Amino acid sequence: MADWLYVDCPCTSFPRSFARDYKETYRYPPPSTVYGFLLSLVGEEDLTAHLGVKVAIGVIGEDVPISRIVRKQRHHKFSKKHQGTYPSAQFSKPNFQELLTDLQVVVRLDSTEETAAVTLSDRVAIALTTPDQITRFGGLSLGESWALVNGVRCYRETDGAVRWLVTDRRGLVALPKWIDRQTTRGTFQRFSLSEPDAEFTEACWVKIEPPAPAQSPKRARKR
């Protein structure tokens, strides 16, 4: 299945949007994270380069276990006293974080509604078949920068049955599909999880695009 991607994630985390001291993780990769992962795969730095692309996200097997670790967190507060100098002993504290291990993700792409001259589907195909034709830097991660993937390839039926995230207004899984980098506000989509033997449907697609700008309410004219 050439249009299906298999991504092997030995250890990753998708921090919840409202997590602070205790960094909880989403159980499934958000569409916004998967879109950023695909841009990183092809070496694209412009988040708006492939707006309109549709992605479908699935996982293989049962829900993976969640591990909890203690990590060091630095919290810096700018002041005239410190002027950019922050001793680790005074500005570091322990912080709990959740991790997902042995996560196997399947991604499908649909670029029919893109306006780019070379679509994201085409660029991903080039990256997999002739990687010497793309230019990129850094490690390839799904999630935070440290969460390097083992590899990306075409999905094989022997990898296992896929449980797809299906868009559902009443679904219990809420994931961000777009993050505004200037305001850090997210646009969320609700999902339900299909059975392993369920067929792929149109409801599995998520279109990547920023939300429409909010219109300010019209003020009534004074008589």
203-210: average pLDDT: 95
Q: Quick one: what percent of the chain has pLDDT higher than 90?
A: 68
- Look at residue 81 in the predicted model and tell me its pLDDT: 59
Residues 152 and 5 sit within 8 Å (Cβ to Cβ):
yes
Fill in the amino acid letter for 173: V
182-188: average pLDDT: 81
pLDDT by residue (tens digit) across 212-223? 776 656 665 665
* Closest to 186 (Cα-Cα) out of 52, 37, 16: 16
Q: Where are the domains of the chain?
A: 4-71+95-207
188-206: average pLDDT: 94
* Residue 147 burial class via C-beta count within 10 angstroms: exposed 0-12, middle 13-18, buried 19 and up: buried
CA distances from 207 to 4, 15, 178, 201 (A): 17, 22, 10, 14
- Look at residue 180 in the predicted model and tell me its pLDDT: 82
- Look at residue 200 in the predicted model and tell me its pLDDT: 94
Query: Which residues have C-beta within 8 Å of that of residue 152, sequence separation ≥ 6?
Result: 5, 6, 7, 8, 41, 128, 140
Look up the pTM and report it: 0.86
Where does the chain have alpha helices with state H? 31-42, 120-129
pLDDT by residue (tens digit) across 16-39? 887 777 889 999 999 999 999 999
Max CA pair span of the chain: 73
Model confidence at 1, pLDDT cuts 50, 70, 90, reads: low
Where does 59-144 have alpha helices with state H? 120-129
Model confidence at 186, pLDDT cuts 50, 70, 90, reads: confident
pLDDT by residue (tens digit) across 90-124? 667 778 889 999 999 999 999 999 989 999 999 99
Residue 139 has pLDDT above 70, yes or no: yes
pLDDT by residue (tens digit) across 51-102? 999 999 999 999 999 999 887 766 655 555 555 555 666 667 778 889 999 9
CATH of domain 4-71+95-207: 3.30.70.2660
138-163: average pLDDT: 94
